[in-house]
Structure 1
Amino acid sequence: MNLSRWVRGLITGSAMLLAPLFCLADDGRPVIDLILPVDNAPLREFATQVQTHNRDYDVRQFIQAPPPQAEQGDILVTVSDSLLEVIAGEDYPQKVALYVSETAFLDHKAPGVSAVYSNQPLRRQLALTSAILDQRPARIAVPYLNPYFLENLATAITHYPHLSPKVEAASADRPTEVINRLIQQVDVLLATPEIEIYNADTIRSILLSSYRHRTMVIGPNEGFVTAGALASVVSQPVHYALQLNTILKTAKETGAMPPADYPREFDVAINGSVARSLGLSHLNAELLKKRIQDSLSRSGL
């Protein structure tokens, strides 16, 4: 199950403190206070994954806010952008933000906080694009709002000389105008992980335009692939749970929290119907993943 579906419809307003949804016996293990944005079955499943892959810790669940200071554990772990203010304002020895937007996390500048981003690096999506095309020359459009992603693209695109980027800033008010115009001029639309551009209000227009002009859409996430994008690199809940374990091991060994990073493990999601309509029914997710890994290894990205 994709983690992006778990954090939809986040509760806004004042934080709501609940009793732990479960609490293991006090057996001397360090305590993780896992703060979830909402209480639902998928997030409970994710909490189970966190416990399963972090058995050296006692994982307690709370909704939207940690317990009172006198009852707090050793490690604070939050899930989603909506809890960035919470993690920045709490005084825990160790703090980790999971499934947070890269740009939102960087904007908060929370010192001493480690994180695993919700978005994939553009270099992986570029490697996926190259693998799908089997390194054939292609024109790719990359509309953006935040110049941060333009800088990331500039670093990675040099390793893919067969891909000719057409980059243009989109309007925050009417992003689909630029995107739909670019779709008519290129072979591939590479979507940045900017929800201001790619969201429930814009997805229909963008995908209909891509169908009409037979333009491949790569990214930005599994939700877009389900809706009609061709493919995307994605990370699953278990990947985040395992990476949390790696972060905590590193902190224990070095005495410092590692810097924020992208999810290290990933899969490839493909929309089979869209692939067939584009004459790409041969695409294989595992083979594409292997090609991405090989490409990134060769280029040192």
Structure 2
Amino acid sequence: MITGMQGLDRITRLLTRRLLPGLIFCLFGAGLRAEPVLLVLSDFSPSYNQVRDAVMMTAQQPPVVTTPDQLTPTDSHRGTILAVGSRACEQMLSRYHPDTRLVCSFLPSTTFVQLKRQLLPEQGQPQVSAIFIDQPLLRQIRLAKLVRPDARFLGSALGNNSQSLRSELESGSKEAGLELQLSYLTTQDNPVEKLTPVIQNSDLFLVIPDSSVFNRAISKWLLYLSLRNQVPVIGFSESYTNAGATASVHSSPTQIGQQAGEWLNRLSAGEALPPPSYPAYFDVSINTVAARTLNLKLTSGEALEQELLRLEARR
């Protein structure tokens, strides 16, 4: 017969064997797994703060926020880092540690490609990805086709920072049934002389987000020439729509932050790092005055957005 003391001792040993590993994990293992993500803002400007706020609202585990000026030597060794903006991405790529999963967000796709090529040229398959701020060209081209369904010729221009987009622009135009009228602009070119024949021979004009081509002055000329030639302009920001573009597709800082927060949740759940991606969430804005001047019957930005989502869901 087992005495009371022997039974108690046996129960104690049994509980120790079963519960001790769990206690150790709770005290040490969970703490390691719960290491917070480092969120690096390029600075505390309003747009970056909006990305940060959306990440905080979406991510199940709030990240630790810092800026490039506040980084410590050990910060680059974090398990997961979210860099917001080109400056933050550049800093974290230059400090990249092979054991880190780095997500750059809220920066142009061309900027990310250039930075990665410059700062990680020898890396085979680094755990580095991105959420771009610009839209996929096919999304812009499809919007153009929705604005003018009977269009046959699509005009556009590329500069030094966007030449790598030529193949994507050509394939997207072909898929939409449009013939591409393309011009290349350098800083030495007269933009009016280069853009005028393209606009005159196009039914639509697509603006590529490239500061080496479309600065404020050139954009004003572009909008003037397109209106004079009755050619709708498809832009990439709400500002372009307000300035005179017929329609634009764009993503807000909040939308980029929401997508980034969702990525962090997927990573914390053990999923693989997603590949570099364009925004999943976007809005379409239309300029009703420009549309009316060009005799275009556009219902609303929301209706165009839903049609774009339907087209993308078919792929």
Determine the structure 1 residue equivalent to 2:17: none
Q: CA deviation at 1:143?
A: 1.6
Higher helix share: 2
Q: Which residue of 2 aligns with 1:117?
A: 132
The equivalences for 1:118-157 within 5 A come to: 118-133=133-148, 135-145=149-159, 146-157=162-173
1:37 — aligned with what? 42
State how far apart, in whole Å, the 2-side matches of 1:291 and 1:189 are.
20
Provide the identity percentage.
Answer: 23
Partners of 1:123 and 1:42 in 2: CA distance: 26
**Residue 108 (structure 1) aligned with residue 123 (structure 2):** no
1:75 paired to 2:90: no
Alpha-carbon distance, 1:74 to partner: 4.2
Query: Residue in 2 aligned with 1:289?
Result: 305
Which segment is superposed worse, 214-223 or 29-38? 29-38
CA distance in structure 2 between the partners assigned to 1:297 and 1:276 by the alignment: 30
Give the TM-score taking structure 2 as reference length. Answer: 0.77
The offset of 1:71, in angstroms, is 6.1
Partner of 2:16: none
Distance between the aligned counterparts of 2:289 and 2:196, measured in 1? 21
Provide the residue aligned with 2:255 in structure 1: 239
Give the drift of 1:70.
4.2
How is 1:140-219 mapped onto 2 (pairs within 5 angstroms)?
Answer: 140-145=154-159, 146-161=162-177, 163-174=178-189, 175-219=191-235
Q: CA deviation at 1:266?
A: 1.4
Alpha-carbon distance in 2 for matches of 1:192, 1:282: 22
Aligned to 1:5: none
**Higher deviation after alignment, 149-158 or 241-250:** 241-250
CA deviation after TM superposition for structure 1 residue 252, in Å: 3.6
User: Structure 1 residue 61 and structure 2 residue 77: aligned?
Assistant: no
Match of 1:265 among 281, 288, 292: 281
Whether the 8 Å contact between 2:246 and 2:286 is mirrored in structure 1 is yes
Q: Is the 8 A contact 1:77 1:98 kept in 2?
A: yes
1:46 alignment counterpart: 51
User: Contact 2:40–2:83 (CA<8 Å) still a contact in 1?
Assistant: yes
Q: Tell me, in whole angstroms, the C-alpha distance in 1 between the residues paired with 2:55 and 2:34.
A: 15
Task: Give the distance between the partners of 2:108 and 2:241, measured in 1 at CA.
Answer: 19
Alignment partners' CA distance in 2, 1:192 and 1:234: 12
Q: Structure 1: where are the runs of 5+ without partners?
A: 1-25
8 Å CA contact retained: 1:120, 1:233:
yes
What's the CA shift for 1:88? 0.4
**Deviation at residue 138 of structure 1 after TM alignment:** 3.0
Between the aligned partners of 1:230 and 1:217, the Cα distance in structure 2 is 6
Say how many residue pairs are matched: 271
Cα 1:57–1:102 shift into 2, 3 Å: same
Contact 1:272 1:281 in 2 (8 A): no
Q: Deviations over 1:182-231 (max 9, x none)?
A: 11222211112222112223221111212222211102322212222111
Please state how far the C-alpha of 1:91 moved relative to its aligned partner: 4.0
Whole-Å Cα distance in 2 between the matches of residues 204 and 156 of structure 1?
Answer: 26
Contact map agreement 1:33 1:66 (CA 8 A) in 2 = no
* TM-score normalised over the length of structure 1: 0.80
SS in 2 for 1:136: coil
